């Protein structure tokens, strides 16, 4: 039996994100395209000599006592009956509170790593059930590999339909450093939606738009206008990226990371080279 496993987990961006009206239960349904990108957190999961404990060491980013990793451990133990404790060393590279799914991806990686560590295999149904108890976006990150990099996501985030991923795009990301909580962002959207007439593509159109020329994309993010309205530095990041004429520019998730998509590697490199002088936390990435 293994004593430790090392898991690498990716970030995501939302190429499109429509937030529908609040449901009777207080949650919102979404229509989105999730795209994994090559920016990773790392987990080192080790067996402990204790029972029913999950101790997380995260020196770069301080986590609350209850977090997505401890929730994943609890969900795994509930599904398997395993009670052996674990210690987890988390190395953060994905910006936190930035709309890039770092916490959800960490949780999904934890579920995969625990299966490997203890030599058990949860069924797809068991994995999905565990993921849904942790958070809305966790389901998207459950599976690793080229076939699971891009998906159309609906419901609260638990309904995932994977589609063939494009490999011809270059991404320049700018992190404004604003942390807008998901709760706050949804409240801003709810207030904004009262007078918002923005046209969004239909759910049935999303995959065909994704396949087409990026310059013709009509994707939107319901969060962008209300969140950037409260935090002007986000709009500044969008404007700065727009100065380099990307094929597409948007904010991801509920913010605050902004991304530009380029078809040309040279254009992406030129944009990144200039932007990284003014934006301390910026990235040049390509889906491979």
Active site residues: 12, 137
Cα-Cα-Cα-Cα torsion 281, 6, 137, 123, nearest 10 degrees, comes to: 170
Q: Which structure tokens are listed for 107?
A: 């949780």
Q: Which structure tokens are listed for 66?
A: 């209850």
Distance CA 230, CA 234 (A): 9
In this structure, are residues 108 and 131 in contact, taking their beta carbons and an 8 Å threshold?
A: yes
Q: Which structure tokens are listed for 207?
A: 């995959």
Q: Where are the beta strands (DSSP E) in the chain?
A: 4-22, 28-51, 54-57, 84-91, 150-155, 159-163, 170-174, 248-251, 258-262, 282-286
């Amino acid at each position: 039996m293994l004593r430790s496993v090392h898991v690498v987990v990716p970030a995501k961006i939302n190429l499109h994100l429509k937030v529908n009206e609040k449901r009777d239960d207080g949650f919102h349904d979404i229509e989105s395209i999730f795209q994994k990108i090559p920016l990773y957190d790392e987990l080192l999961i080790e067996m402990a000599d204790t029972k029913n404990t999950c101790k997380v060491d995260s020196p770069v980013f301080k986590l609350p006592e209850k977090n997505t990793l401890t929730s994943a451990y609890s969900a795994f133990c509930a599904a398997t009956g395993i009670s052996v404790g674990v210690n987890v060393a988390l190395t953060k590279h994905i910006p936190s509170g930035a709309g890039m799914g770092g916490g959800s991806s960490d949780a999904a990686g934890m579920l995969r790593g625990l299966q490997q560590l203890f030599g058990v295999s949860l069924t797809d149904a068991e994995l999905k059930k565990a993921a849904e108890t942790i958070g809305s976006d966790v389901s998207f990150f459950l599976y690793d590999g080229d076939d699971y990099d891009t998906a159309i996501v609906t419901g609260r985030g638990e309904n995932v339909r994977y589609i063939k991923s494009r490999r011809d795009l270059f991404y320049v990301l700018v992190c404004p450093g604003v942390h807008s909580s998901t709760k706050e962002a949804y409240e801003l959207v709810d207030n904004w939606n009262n007078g918002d007439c923005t046209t969004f593509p239909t759910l049935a159109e999303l995959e065909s738009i994704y396949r087409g020329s990026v310059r013709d994309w009509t994707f939107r993010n319901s969060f962008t206008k209300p969140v950037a309205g409260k935090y002007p530095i986000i709009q500044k990041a969008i404007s700065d990226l727009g100065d380099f004429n990307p094929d597409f520019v948007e904010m991801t998730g509920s913010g605050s990371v902004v991304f530009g998509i380029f078809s040309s590697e040279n254009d992406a490199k030129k944009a990144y080279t200039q932007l990284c002088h003014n934006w301390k936390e910026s990235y040049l990435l390509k889906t491979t």
